[in-house]
Amino acid sequence: MSAVNAPSYDASSRQPDGIRQVRALPRRRPGEVFAAVALAGPAMALLLVLFILPVVAIVAVAVTDWQFGTRSLNFIGLANFRAIFADDIFLASLRNTAIYVSIVMPGTVLGGLAIALLIESGDSLRGFYRAIHFLPFMATLAAMATVWEALLHPTIGLVNNTFAAVGLPTANWLRDETTVLPVLAVIGIWQNLGFAMVLFLAGLKSIPQDLYDAADIDGADQWLDRLITVTLPMLGPIAMFVVVVVALRAFEAFDTVQILTQGGPGHASELLLHTLYRESFEFLRAGYGAAITVVFLVIAITLTLIQARLIDKRVHYQ
Amino acid sequence: MAAISLDRLSKRYGGNPVLDAVSLDIQDGEFLTLLGPSGCGKSTLLRVIAGLESQDSGGVAIGGVAVDGLRPKQRDVAMVFQSYALYPHMTVAANMALPLKMRRLTLLQRLPIVCRLLARTRATLRQIEEDVRRTAAALEIEHVLDRKPGQLSGGQRQRVAVGRAMVRRPSVFLMDEPLSNLDAKLRVTMRAEIKELHRRLGVTFVYVTHDQAEAMTLSDRVAVMLDGKLRQVGRPLEIYADPAERRVAEFIGSPKITMIEARVGEGGQVHVGSRLLPIETAQPPGSLIVLGIRPEAFTLVAPGAEGELLAGRVRLVEHLGSDLYIHLEGAGQAEPVIARLDAAQAPHIGIGEQIHLAVHAERMLLFASDGRRIRAATDRRPVAVVSGLRAAARAEYAR
Ligand SMILES: Nc1ncnc2c1ncn2[C@@H]1O[C@H](COP(=O)(O)OP(=O)(O)OP(=O)(O)O)[C@@H](O)[C@H]1O
Ligand SMILES: [Mg+2]
């Protein structure tokens, strides 16, 4: 979570150099090797059991025709991968996921930032607003989803009634192919907004007042100038972290789909994790599901790597 | 023209008075230092002058114009912060260019790319770049213009902070403990540079510090601040040799001044214990007063010599080359008495030894029991001796 820390301002922590130095040390004595193994061993073992072995198993299953529960399996090479990339449902799911992430991620980040700036600029009821916006993140979605379902109900839902009252078009939001994905995305934003907001608030708190004073003296004392000169750049590292974490969370969206739409109507709200779940545990096509999982993992790991790179290289002002 | 005039400034934070009716006139081109212990309100006063903080009552005028309602940028002041407050994401060049960009470009022109295209904006930007380079050259930081603040040493950061303040040629420089983050050696170097900068720019400097050495060496005048009040404003020597009240005398000078209780007897005679001092005062007989004696005012005398003021056992001897600091205890005082003696005059003093000290009447500072300075002390000896001693005191301090 080092990314959540305040952008290191003035004090210079030259971590990358330090690591390089350790690596460059000359050969070690046997005692040191033993100590190193003893210290790193438990973590390595856990990593192996909880992450590396399952990934290896998934990749292994992905190149077979294993059906969940059966005793026989055959090696079929990349056939599963060829199959999923020829499968309209999987491709639709991939496309939907991309659209979903590209709405939820910017929506959450910008919304969270805006709310954090608003809360920070006001004096009263800060704690109250913070709590209100953080609630959706804490609440179980299973319970909240029923509320959303009621709100979006085509005839008695509050949304349609309100829209009708002010003369806006109404819709059967969760049963309409064109609206279902955007509506799920809005719920996704609502879910993650508090998380982004809390991180941005922490970031805003850690900006030294001196910088704002300096900006005042230098003439950057309008709202927009302060934002551009001090606030946004100083939030850089945290913004990076929020972007990637929210992207990952959006990418893993499952519960809203499962509870509200089951991927329907048609496959209009089919998201990757939901497709994966259905193939593996409803249709019991383990090999096929594993191939989807591999694709899923590749995307997730890529996002994480991008985060690590960007945070180290771009936004730590060293 | 930027004389600064402060008129009965007061400010409270949650009921606590932080500034208490501060009035001060700072002349154009003067180097004025605000000196005081931590928490006395120096930074607050500086921030009120800058416009970063607003006063509860009283007024600030800069260059004869009341600036009370004006924003910091409209006051033509520049400020150097203790933390330097450099923008960590900008290069040194961008840090220094910012105050110029904010003043010379409109919001539209400052937008990236779009307005680089306009010829007039380009010309302004070139001019800004040129100004930044010239300032950087004057401060010898040209070679770090492309670096970020995080890649600079403490001294370089300090110069960049000064450069950012200097680049737009303000008529007032405000500096809040700009040297306190530097190591001792660099501090002395930068002190000389700031003095030189002031001489070269010839503008008004208001400098905040709690370091007496900085205040004494840099300033034209020092304003001593205690508990939100200005206690005394004067030339450095004056503050040291002629303090206006007991607390100023105690705050200025290191090692600390020795305070000795005395009693006023019949006809204004002053007694310390059973000794009669060669001075008189107009205080009423029977009242208690306090004698303040600087360490270098003591002289070593033989036991029972005329003018002996106190005697005590040596607890500690600090050798400082040409001088010695002697800490005496059991001289009838609660705190140890510290005397500064010439090493040549007292080469053999050892710990535990009993020594006797005298003080010339001229060098005793008298304070009433409420801390006010009593200036009416008169010497009972011939005038010629007194003026000779006054010259000696000057020479002593100037060393
Ligand atoms: N924003 C604030 N809110 C409440 N009290 C404050 C605030 N700023 C300063 N004070 C109080 O005002 C007093 C003076 O503060 P100031 O920063 O001016 O002191 P200073 O003389 O600059 O001290 P230092 O040498 O430590 O910087 C202090 O007691 C401080 O606690
Ligand atoms: Mg201060």
Provide the residue ranges of all domains of chain A, joining segments of one domain with +.
Answer: 24-62, 80-313
- Say how many Å lie between the CA of residue B172 and the centre of ligand 2: 19
Name the phi and psi angles at A220, rounded to 5: -90, 65
Q: Tell me what pLDDT residue B397 has.
A: 47
Q: Which run of H or E residues covers position B78?
A: strand B77-80
Interface test with A, best of B49, B70, B87 (most A CBs within 10 A): B87
Distance, CA of A170 to CA of A163 (rounded, Å): 6
Question: Ligand 2 mean position to B47 CA, how many Å?
Answer: 10
What average pLDDT is seen over chain B?
87
Over residues A11-29, mean pLDDT: 50
Residue B384 vs residues B6, B276, B391: alpha-carbon distances, Å: 42, 22, 11
Whether the CB-CB separation of A252 and A271 falls below 8 Å is answered with: no
Mean pLDDT confidence for B82-104: 91
B79 contacts chain A (CB < 8 A):
yes
How many angstroms separate the CA of residue A138 from the nearest CA in chain B? 34
Q: Which atom of ligand 1 is nearest to the CA of B228?
A: 14
Would an 8 Å CB–CB cutoff place B77 in contact with chain A?
Answer: yes
Ligand 1 pocket test target in B22, B33, B38, B43 with most atoms within 8 Å of CB: B43
Question: What number of helices (H) and strands (E) belong to chain A?
Answer: 15, 0
> Is the minimum CB–CB distance between B253 and chain A shorter than 8 Å?
no
pLDDT reading at A301 higher than 50: yes
- Of A6-20, A67-81, A172-186, the one with minimum mean pLDDT is A6-20
Question: Which residue in B358, B349, B294 sits closest to B326, CA to CA?
Answer: B349
Q: Could you confirm whether domain B4-241 is CATH 3.40.50.300?
A: yes
Query: Does the beta-carbon distance from B102 to A7 stay under 8 Å?
Result: no
**Contact status of B160 with chain A (Cβ, < 8 Å):** no
Judged by CB atoms closer than 8 Å, whether chains meet at B150 and A236 is answered as no
- Tell me: the pLDDT tens digits for A229-275? 899 999 988 888 898 889 988 988 888 888 888 877 888 888 888 98
d(CA B50, CA A289): 66
The 8-class DSSP code of residue B284 comes to: P
Name, of A137-141, A181-185, B300-304, B347-351, the range with top average pLDDT.
A181-185
| Token pair of A168 as six digits | 């806006």
Q: What is the pLDDT of residues A208-225, one digit of tens each?
A: 999 999 999 998 888 888
Per-residue pLDDT for B377 more than 70?
no
What is the domain partition of chain B in residue ranges?
4-241, 257-398
| Cβ of B15 less than 6 Å from ligand 1 | no
User: Which stretch of DSSP H or E encloses residue A286?
Assistant: helix A286-313
Cα distance between residue B62 and residue B173, in whole Å:
12
ipTM field: 0.81
| Ligand number, closest to the Cα atom of B47 | 1
- Nearest atom of ligand 1 to the alpha carbon of B82: 27
The per-residue pLDDT for A21 is 45
Best residue among B44, B181, B208 to mutate for probing ligand 1, ranked by most atoms within 8 Å of CB: B44
CB-based contacts of A316: which residues, under 8 Å, 6+ apart?
A: A7, A8, A237
Q: Are B104 and B124 in contact (CB under 8 A)?
A: yes
Options 1.10.3720.10, 2.60.120.260, 3.40.190.10, 3.30.1360.20; CATH for A80-313 is 1.10.3720.10
Contact flag A216-B107 (C-beta cutoff 8 Å): no
Query: Has residue A122 got a pLDDT over 80?
Result: no
In our burial notation (b when 16+ CB lie closer than 10 A, e otherwise), range A44-79 reads: eeeeeeeeeeeeeebeebbbbbbeeeeeeeeeeeeb
Q: Tell me: pLDDT of A16 over 50.
A: no
| pLDDT surpassing 80 at residue B95 | yes
* pLDDT surpassing 50 at residue B385: no
The predicted-structure confidence for B157-176, as pLDDT tens digits, reads as follows 999 999 999 898 899 999 99
Which of B10, B13, B231 for mutating ligand 1's site (highest number of atoms within 8 Å of CB)?
A: B13
Give me B293's structure tokens.
Answer: 């004696």
Is residue A18's pLDDT more than 70? no
H helix count then E strand count, chain B? 10, 22
pLDDT of residue A11: 41
**C-alpha distance from residue A244 to each of A94, A106, A234, A298, A308 (Å):** 18, 11, 18, 15, 10
Distance from CA of A142 to the nearest CA of B (A): 43
Helix axes A209-218, B92-104, angle to 10 degrees: 50
Ligand 1 center from residue B205 Cα (angstroms): 21
Q: Does A211 touch chain B (CB under 8 A)?
A: yes
3-state per-residue secondary structure call for B193-226: HHHHHHHHHCCEEEEEECCHHHHHHHCCEEEEEE
CA distance B343 to A23: 57
Ligand 1, atom 26, lies closest to the CA of B38
Give, using CA atoms, the residue closest to atom 18 of ligand 1.
B41
Query: What percentage of chain A reaches a pLDDT higher than 70?
Result: 89
**For residue range B22-69, what is the model confidence (pLDDT) as tens digits?**
999 999 999 999 999 999 999 999 999 999 999 999 999 999 999 998
Nearest CA to A218 out of B86, B333, B256 is that of B86
Q: What is the mean pLDDT of residues A27-37?
A: 83
Enter the tokens of residue B86: 């450099």
Write down the mean pLDDT value for chain A.
Answer: 82
Beta bridge partners of A216: none
- For residue A98, what pLDDT is reported? 92
Determine the distance in angstroms separating the CA of A112 from the nearest CA of chain B, rounded to an integer.
Answer: 23
Which of B77, B84, B150 lies at the smallest CB-CB distance from A318?
A: B150
The answer, for A8 touching chain B at a CB cutoff of 8 Å, is yes
Per-residue confidence (pLDDT) for residue A2, from 0 to 100 = 40
Model pLDDT for residues B212-228, shown as the tens digit of each residue? 989 999 999 999 999 99
Q: Return the pLDDT at A314.
A: 58
For residue B177, report the distance from its CA to the centre of ligand 2, in Å. Answer: 7
Nearest CA to A41 among A52, A33, A30, A51? A33
So what's the pLDDT on residue A315? 56
Best CA proximity match to B316, nearest among B334, B342, B292, B336: B336
Q: For chains A and B, what is the number of CB pairs under 8 angstroms?
A: 79
Res. A66: pLDDT tops 50: yes
Q: How much is the pLDDT for B3?
A: 92
Residue B317 touches chain A, beta carbons under 8 Å: no
Inform me whether the pLDDT recorded for A14 exceeds 70: no
Cis before A265? omega within 30: yes
- Tell me if B38 CB under 6 Å of ligand 1: yes
pLDDT of B81 > 90? The answer is yes
The sign of the CA dihedral B374, B380, B383, B385 is: negative
Task: Kindly report, residue by residue over A173-204, the tens digit of the pLDDT.
Answer: 778 888 889 999 999 999 888 899 999 999 99
pLDDT of residue B396 exceeding 70: no
CATH superfamily, with its number, for domain B257-398: Nucleic acid-binding proteins (2.40.50.140)
Overall average pLDDT of the B257-265 stretch: 90
Distance B13 CA to ligand 1 centre (A): 9
Of A7, A213, A221, the CB nearest to B85: A213
